[in-house]
Amino acid sequence: MSKRIAITIADHPEGELRVADHFGRCSRFMVYDVDDNQKVVKEESYPNPLLGEHRGVCELPYYVKELGANVVIAGGMGRRAIANFNTFNIEVITSPGAKIVDAIYNYLQGELNGYEPCAGHQGDCH
C-alpha cells in the first residue's frame, strides 16, 4: 500500500529543514508520496494556513486530511490533536528536532513509530 506522509517543517537558521517541535507552530508541511516499495516518488511543500493561530489543534487535522496524507510526522503533539488525526485514520508519529531526511528515512525503515504527547498541550482545542 502506498502512503502519503506529511511532515511538519521548522525552518532552521542554517537552512537545514527539521521536524517542527510542535505541529501547530510549523511554518509548512512537506508531503511525500511513497510507493509500495517504500521509495519516495514525489515531494511537495504546503504552507501552514493556520500559522500563529490557536485553532490549529482542531483544524490542522482537517487540512492534513485534505492534503491526502495518511501519516503525519511532527516533533510533538497534544492528546487532543492526536485524537483528531486518529479520527481520520491518520497515523501520528513524533520525532522531535530530527532532520526531515532522517525522519522520512527512519520511518520508511520501520525505525520511527509511535508518539509522545507534548506535556504542555494535553488538553482540548483552543
Q: Note whether residue 124 is domain-resident.
A: no
What tens digit of pLDDT does each residue of 31-60 get? 999 999 999 999 999 999 888 776 666 788
CATH number, domain of 79, equals 3.30.420.130
Q: Note whether residue 119 is domain-resident.
A: no
Q: Note whether residue 67 is domain-resident.
A: yes
Q: Note whether residue 126 is domain-resident.
A: no
Q: To which H or E segment does residue 93 belong?
A: strand 91-94
What tens digit of pLDDT does each residue of 70-97 get? 999 998 888 888 889 999 999 999 888 7
Q: Note whether residue 120 is domain-resident.
A: no
Q: Note whether residue 115 is domain-resident.
A: no
Q: Note whether residue 77 is domain-resident.
A: yes
Alpha-carbon distances of 90 from 14, 18, 66, 105, 119, rounded to whole Å:
31, 21, 11, 19, 21
Q: Based on the structure, what is the number of domains in the chain?
A: 1
> Using CB atoms within 10 A of its CB, is residue 14 exposed (0-12), middle (13-18) or buried (19+)?
exposed
Domain with 16, as residue range(s), is 3-108
Residue pair 23/72 in contact by the 8 Å Cβ criterion: yes
